[in-house]
Amino acid sequence: MIDQGTSRRFALGTRPVTVKQYRQFLEDEGKETDWVADQDGDCPVTGVSWFDAVAFCNWMSQRDGFGPRQWCYEPTPLKQYGDGMRLRDVSALSSYRLPTEAEWEFACRAGAPSCRPWGNATELIDRYVWCQANAGNRVWPVGRLEPNGFGLFDMLGNVWEWCQDAYLEELREWKTVDEREDRILRGGSIFQRPSEIDCKQRERTRPVDRRDDCGFRVACTLPEPGTSALG
């Protein structure tokens, strides 16, 4: 896919990160797993903060051969993901990260001019979206409903998804992360009414917050043809 605002080529995970994938991260990092122990492994992981999500992205980058200088997120001097950590320029790096808000919306719409990737009709929501009308107050395994035109599952509903951006009127990438500055969530969740579900819906919360209706999916900038992702 191509970011229409920057002409940057990027890829996005076809599904949100699952509990099973997140448990592997916790195990490899020697972290406690109790707080996700009762979640279904094929469901999107929930209860993750923005800081948890970017730590997962760096873990994926390291696993796939990217060195620390190539990671999109620079931990604090104490190797922590939290207040004072830094963001690197995602246009120059091909390691894993969260999608920018612009990338997320472009991928969600999948070229559709309507407010939903399948059109404006709410009657079709049950085919694409887990929301208040059909979810039964629980999250569902990823990929069970139909994908959008780009082949992406669960872009709307099921869980809110963290984006890279701080909640600003003029969206831009910040160099240093302030835990008091809200970060953007997109997509809605099982608690939204069908009438609330659309590609423009956005919410915000602090990057330290962990919510039971919030997860994430992974993105990366694609290298230009003829160049190496590993530098």
User: Could you state, in order of their start, the residue ranges of all structural domains in the chain?
Assistant: 10-221
Class of domain 10-221: alpha beta
Does 226 have pLDDT greater than 50?
no
Q: Evaluate whether 39 touches 46 at the Cβ level (below 8 Å).
A: yes
Strand partners, 221: 10
User: Amino acid letter at 184?
Assistant: I
Helix (H) or strand (E) holding 61: helix 50-63
Q: How far is CA 200 from the centre of its chain?
A: 15
CA dihedral 87, 93, 99, 105 (to 10 degrees): 120
pLDDT of the residue at 32:
74
pLDDT band, very low/low/confident/very high, at 112 (cuts 50, 70, 90): very high
The maximal CA–CA distance of the chain, rounded, in angstroms, is 52
Q: Evaluate whether 182 touches 174 at the Cβ level (below 8 Å).
A: no
Q: Which pTM does this prediction carry?
A: 0.92
Percent residues over pLDDT 90 in the chain: 76
pLDDT band, very low/low/confident/very high, at 117 (cuts 50, 70, 90): very high
